[in-house]
A = this chain, B = another copy of it.
Amino acid sequence: MTYQVPVDDIMRALKTAVDLDGLIADGVYAGLDEDTVRAVIEEAGKFGSEVLDPLNWNGDREGSRLKDGVVYTPSGWKEAYRQFAEGGWSALPCPEEYGGQGLPGVLSMAACEIWNATNLSFGLCPLLTQGAIDALHADGSDELKAIYLPKMVSGEWTGTMNLTEPQAGSDLAAIRSKAVKQPDGTYRIFGTKIFITYGDHELTDNIVHMVLARLPDAPVGTRGISLFLVPKRLVNSDGSLGARNDVVCAGLEHKLGIHASPTCVMKFGEADGAVGYLVGQENRGLNTMFIMMNAARLAVGIQGVAVAERATQRAVVYAKDRKQGRTATSKPGEMGAIVEHADIRRTLLTMKSLTQAARSICLVTAREIDVAHRGATDEIRKAAANKAALLTPIAKAFSTDIGCEVASMGVQIHGGMGFVEETGAAQYYRDARILPIYEGTNGIQAIDLVMRKLPLDGGTVVTAYIGEIANTAMEVKASNRPEFGRMGERLSEAVDALVAATGFMAQNLQNSPESALAGATPYLRLFGLAAGQHYLARAALAESRDGGDGGNAIALARFFAENLLVAAPGLAETVIGGAEAILGVDPDRISV
């Protein structure tokens, strides 16, 4: 089945969770209007469904291949990439001074969902290029920016993130790649990086690698890591391409999913060293890398939404088409469509409501990043930056967890056909599985939320956010709408659960951090459910107030509250009462 851009669902999230109208009125999104936003999403949807979606299945079968030192992407990829760049899609959120369109991040994330829903393997290429652009724009020298940014913004060159080494995955302190300063101010880079997405390909003439490495005299640990720009091909002073740099793709991983996206082992400095240019200051590379990483984490969250959306679309179409068993409405002796079975409908509503909840969380996070850059006052910008920081690990981890869950439900809806690769549902299940892993595993996200984000600004950031949810709960209750069912009650219970669990974290962070860490993952899940319901409820309130978009806002919000959010009190119990059972077990006693 062909992908259909969920324009109403995206617009609903933008209007009711992001408050698009308010931001336009406030001048944060100056020059934009709702019609333009909708038109961009529809246009992106057209590109996604017409160009990227048809390549997705063959891309998975064919995969990317390494031959004689060159990485070849699947058939059709190069032409699609050319169209993508020519259409200006790579320039969407980029600074206008470098040829970008300067559109808000929230709109860029909406488009990012579309690229990844239609073709996750393709979508990774611009996703990582965007991270490299952000890092270079933030901390690169004017000269580097002038040389590289216009070509990256236009899509003429792509970008990569080179962090991981075999011994340094989640723990970047263990990075060993070396950088040696040269008399001319450049550096020579030596080392092996693994899991480098689009580390090599033939889509563009050049690739701009952002590489973490250590100077010989650097302090140990994360305070001794520097960031370098290492082009695949050197660039002459007139902007033309020069010699090949000393960097090669030494191998591709054979993966569970995203087969079309080349995951490269990259060797730097096998000969006399790869020429690199410092980005930012020596030994401060991790700060810049976190700019890339935070943006990439949100984008990976969007990938979770994207794969969930695509899996849901396929499942809905199948459930309406496939007839099996008698249903309440089927004629005697005839079978009904399986969507009419209550258990199937439960699954589909679970898929749809989880997807919309995660989408809303991600778009609100993008909104806060926009406000952090464009807000009217320091105070507004600071508050938005803090809220974005709080929400980023939830956007990444909650969305990618539900991405896997929804993709798995998508397989199940198809019954035996779901297990047959040609059906297509299985590819989403395979592709989705990387999302909770890369850009910081979801366990790392949970630790980040608890250890770094809860204490932000003395805990006032999280308190204010929970206050927001509590207000929504009160509004739902006050609305007294019978069609809301027990939504207000359930959301209040979830707020109570979140308050209790957050209090437990606050109490333990200083004196018993292990007790806090033991509950980090269920805490993040609890937070994601409550935040997701918050936005679904706001959409329901809007629908009940003004009729909304004629969609399922009320139905989804009510379903989520009465069927999924009910997990909240149990999750709080786990956070508060479950740590001892974990910490009391000596790791040595966990054996096979």
Complex interface: stretch among A99-107, A225-233, A581-589: A581-589
Residue among A253, A430, A563, A580 having the largest count of chain B Cβ atoms under 10 Å: A563
Cβ 8 A contact of A415, one of B441, B446, B555: B441
Q: Smallest Cβ distance from A73 to chain B, in angstroms?
A: 19
Complex contact B590–A562 (CB within 8 A): no
Within 8 A of B (CB), among A550-565: 552, 555, 558-559, 561-563
Within 8 A of B (CB), among A397-453: 404, 408, 411-412, 415-416, 418-422, 426, 429-430, 433-434, 436-438, 441-443, 446-447
Q: Does A577 interact with chain B (Cβ within 8 Å)?
A: yes
Q: Does A495 interact with chain B (Cβ within 8 Å)?
A: no
Residue among A342, A345, A591 having the largest count of chain B Cβ atoms under 10 Å: A342
Cβ 8 A contact of A582, one of B170, B514, B559, B582: B559
Complex contact A518–B568 (CB within 8 A): no
Give A441 to B419 CA distance when docked, in angstroms.
12
Q: Does A39 interact with chain B (Cβ within 8 Å)?
A: no
Cβ 8 A contact of A345, one of B255, B558, B587: B587
Closest B residue to A353 by beta carbon equals B581
Cβ 8 A contact of A325, one of B171, B325, B347, B573: B171
Complex contact B317–A348 (CB within 8 A): no
Q: Does A85 interact with chain B (Cβ within 8 Å)?
A: no
Complex contact A589–B555 (CB within 8 A): yes
Q: Does A294 interact with chain B (Cβ within 8 Å)?
A: no
Within 8 A of B (CB), among A306-342: 312-313, 316-317, 319-320, 323-326, 328, 333, 335, 337, 339-342
Complex contact B589–A343 (CB within 8 A): no
Q: Smallest Cβ distance from A483 to chain B, in angstroms?
A: 8
Complex contact B517–A339 (CB within 8 A): no
Q: Does A509 interact with chain B (Cβ within 8 Å)?
A: no
A interface bracket (residues with beta carbon within 8 Å of B): 35 or more
Give A408 to B408 CA distance when docked, in angstroms.
11
Contact partners of A340 in chain B: CB under 8 A: 587
Give A555 to B581 CA distance when docked, in angstroms.
7
Contact partners of A574 in chain B: CB under 8 A: 562-563, 566
Contact partners of A341 in chain B: CB under 8 A: 443, 517
Q: Does A387 interact with chain B (Cβ within 8 Å)?
A: no
Q: Smallest Cβ distance from A30 to chain B, in angstroms?
A: 34
Q: Does A382 interact with chain B (Cβ within 8 Å)?
A: no
Give A561 to B517 CA distance when docked, in angstroms.
19
Contact partners of A283 in chain B: CB under 8 A: none
Complex contact B164–A590 (CB within 8 A): no
A342-B514, A346-B518 given. 12 additional CB < 8 A pairs? A255-B420, A256-B430, A320-B587, A320-B590, A342-B520, A347-B521, A412-B442, A430-B430, A486-B577, A552-B585, A555-B585, A563-B574
Residue contacts A-B, CB under 8 angstroms, 26 given = A169-B415, A170-B325, A171-B324, A171-B326, A256-B429, A339-B590, A341-B443, A343-B443, A343-B517, A343-B521, A345-B518, A345-B583, A345-B587, A346-B521, A349-B581, A411-B433, A412-B441, A416-B438, A419-B437, A485-B577, A552-B590, A555-B585, A563-B574, A566-B573, A566-B578, A567-B570
